[in-house]
Amino acid sequence: MSDRLVAALSAIVGPDAVVADRASLTTYESDAFGLVRGDARAVVLPRSTDEVSRVVALCHREHVPVVPRGAGTGLSGGAAPVDGGVIVETARMKRILSIDAAARLAVVQPGVANAVLSAAARPHGLVFGPDPSSGAVCTLGGNAAENAGGPHALKHGLTTQHVLGLEVVLANGEVVNLGGAVDGMPGYDLVGLFVGSEGLLGVTTALTVRLSPLAPETRTLLVAFPSLVAGCEAVGDLIEAGLEPSALEALDRGTIATIEASAEYAAGYPLDAELALLVDLDGTAVEVERAVAEASRICRARGATEIREGADESSRRKLWKGRKSAFGAMGRLRGDVYVLDGTVPRSALPRVLAFTVDVAARYGLTICNVFHAGDGNLHPNISFDGRDPDMTRRALAAGAEILRACVDAGGSITGEHGVGVEKLSFMHWMFGERELAEMEALKRLVDPSLSLNPGKLIPSTKGCAEAKGKHDLVGEPR
């Protein structure tokens, strides 16, 4: 039966663009959130919108689920084939279709990597705003599906503010264009609905995105604080002073120690700091000069013990190096890292951050915090050994407790990584029954047979999805 499906898929995309052998399929069991897995029947690698459309239409006729996939760097299980089915991977749709520098627009296929677009835009003095730390590999289709952010989201926004138009293949194979080449096209903001919909509403086959002018000048400050609270309060002070850093990142003592312990990633960060802030200030030379002075003054007033400045590209890159490799360095601790993604209002940062320290102690776990402080977007990273079931259970329970605290502080269970499978059981902390039913109704409006990326985002549709992972993800604390 599966062979018939594979043959039909091969007839559309060619046999070289279908992966169906067990050994190769294991790579596709999960995404970067390794705790949920599933077995796909096949992976297809279409080259064009038309091929995607025919593949999706075929799966629709055959009642086979379709799981869109970019680079598989998602951190919530969004691309894991938990309900089986066919994975549509965009790896062969990597063309930048056009860059219109005057209009500051690009049209791209979904498989183009985030950093590849920015590199192509740079000669025009432009950049694609969202810059997830995974930018070198993650795809623009994946960015749109997750509404990805990044260190510079504070000033330059999430993906949704940069997508003007989408070409999508709906669950029945129909191709539809949403939005266009300008903001404010007539009609409901379907682009706004589809961005962040985690592949549940359509397979994106092309995107029209905004490109932003590169700032004339950027300077970076690395500021060391003697306590978590002092550092977090400085974050609030900077914003309240009317400064708008383009990035305002934070690393705690544990993160710094981990980075510095690795020969490969060491960046010379201050080992004695409880919290270090990495602050990018951009604008015209005059503005940046003023902002740097003001930011330094504010940080000193909060007890900063050291301020280093990177004024040129190479010294800036050095200061950022540790931050960029933080996740990689953490993987060295115990092998597995559970990356949380809760958001809290800035004023709640000191309290919730202190809470993560408390949770780590109670569960006997190592939690390192490296996060988008300006946005209040926390990434507590829980190190654990996935081969140890008890430790894994503790990691999940600790994570749930922290995310619950984020919601209680008026924030969110996810700032940029999405709900996927990981946070399904946390959705009702944020939404009432009516709102969740509304999301399901929106899903059914576009995909009545629930065949696109089933088992994700909407708790009530989890139904038959049978996660292969041995860990129960319902780690809800009381």
Partner 1 sequence: MSLREPPAVRETLARAIGAARLRDGAAPRDLVDDLLPPVVARPESAGEVAELLGCAAREGFAVIPTAGGTRRAFGNPPERADVLLDLGALASLREWSPRDGVLVAEPALAVGDAERLVAADAQTLAGDWPVRSTGTLGGSAAAGRPPLDALGPAGPRWSVIGVEVALPDGTLRRHGARVAKNVAGFDVTRLHVGALGTLGVITEITLRARPRAGRKSETPFSESNAFRANVLGPDGTEVAAVELRMPGGRLAPAEPPTTLCLDEPADSASARDRFRAWLARWREVASAANGVAIVLAAPPSWKRDVDVWCGEPPAALPLMRKLKALYDPTRVLNPGRYVAGL
Ligand X SMILES: Cc1cc2nc3c(=O)[nH]c(=O)nc-3n(C[C@H](O)[C@H](O)[C@H](O)COP(=O)(O)OP(=O)(O)OC[C@H]3O[C@@H](n4cnc5c(N)ncnc54)[C@H](O)[C@@H]3O)c2cc1C
Q: Which of residues 79-108 bind partner 1 (CB under 8 A)?
A: 100, 102-105
Q: How far is the CB of 103 from partner 1 (least distance, A)?
A: 3
**Interatomic CA distance for residues 171 and 405, integer angstroms:** 37
Sheet containing 163-169: give its strands across: 96-100, 105-108, 203-210, 163-169, 175-179
Which among 32, 18, 25, 22 has a CA at the least distance from the CA of 70? 32
Q: Which residue number, 99 or 144, has a Cβ lying nearer to ligand X?
A: 144
Torsion-angle region of 72 (φ positive above 0: left; ψ -120 to 50: alpha; else: beta): left
Find residue 367's DSSP bridge partners: 382
State which of positions 120-139 bind partner 1 (CB under 8 A).
Answer: 129
Q: Kindly give the pairing relationship between strand 247-252 and strand 306-310.
A: unpaired
Residues near 466 by beta carbon (within 8 Å), at least 6 away in sequence: 38, 82, 83
Whichever of 146 and 280 has its CB closer to ligand X, that residue is 146
Binding residue (CB under 8 A) for partner 1 from 14, 34, 192, 303: 192
Q: Which does 70 bind (CB under 5 to 8 A by kind): ligand X, partner 1, none?
A: ligand X
Q: Is 240 in the site for partner 1 (CB under 8 A)?
A: yes
By CB under 8 A, what part of segment 36-75 binds partner 1?
Answer: none
- Any idea how long the chain is? 478
Q: Site mask, partner 1, residues 389-418, x = CB under 8 A?
A: ---------------------xxxxxxxxx
Phi, psi of 385 (to 5 degrees): -110, 110
- Interface residue with partner 1 among 97, 389, 431, 470 (CB under 8 A) is 431
Residues interacting with ligand X, by CB under 6 A? 31-32, 67-75, 78-79, 90, 110, 132-134, 138-139, 141-143, 145-146, 148-150, 198-199, 203-204, 327, 416-417, 453
Burial zone of 23 (CB within 10 Å; 0-12 exposed, 13-18 middle, 19+ buried): exposed
Query: How many whole angstroms separate alpha carbon 454 and alpha carbon 138?
Result: 22
Query: What is the rounded distance in angstroms from the CA atom of residue 298 to the CA atom of residue 171?
Result: 53
The span from the CA of 269 to the CA of 253, in Å, is 10
By a kind-dependent CB cut-off of 5 to 8 A, residue 180 interacts, out of ligand X, partner 1, none, with partner 1
Residue pair 247/280 in contact by the 8 Å Cβ criterion: yes
- The item of ligand X, partner 1, none sharing an interface with residue 333, based on CB under 5 to 8 Å by kind, is none
Under the binding rule (CB under 8 A), the answer on residue 218 touching partner 1 is: no
- Binders in 317-346 for partner 1, by CB under 8 A: 343-346
* Residue numbers 160-189 binding partner 1 by CB under 8 A: 160-162, 176-178, 180-189
The reply on whether position 31 binds partner 1 by CB under 8 A is: no
When CB distances are held under 5 to 8 angstroms depending on the partner's kind, the choice from partner 1, ligand X, none that residue 69 binds is: ligand X
Q: Please choose which of ligand X, partner 1, none residue 155 contacts, taking the beta carbon within 5 to 8 angstroms, the exact cut-off set by kind.
A: partner 1
Residue 331 DSSP symbol? H
- Measured from the CB atom, the residue of 66 and 299 that comes closer to ligand X is 66
Q: What burial class does residue 233 get, using C-beta atoms within 10 Å of its C-beta: 0-12 exposed, 13-18 middle, 19+ buried? A: buried
Task: Tokens 């950027």: give the residue.
Answer: 218
| Closer residue to partner 1, CB minimum distance, 182 or 361 | 182
Out of ligand X, partner 1, none, what residue 394 binds, judged by CB under 5 to 8 A for its kind, is none
Comparing CB distances to ligand X, the nearer of 226 and 328 is 328
Cβ distance to partner 1 smaller for residue 84 or 165: 165
Binding mask 444-473 for partner 1 (x = CB under 8 A): -xx----------xx---------------
Q: What is the CB neighbour count within 10 angstroms for residue 427?
A: 18
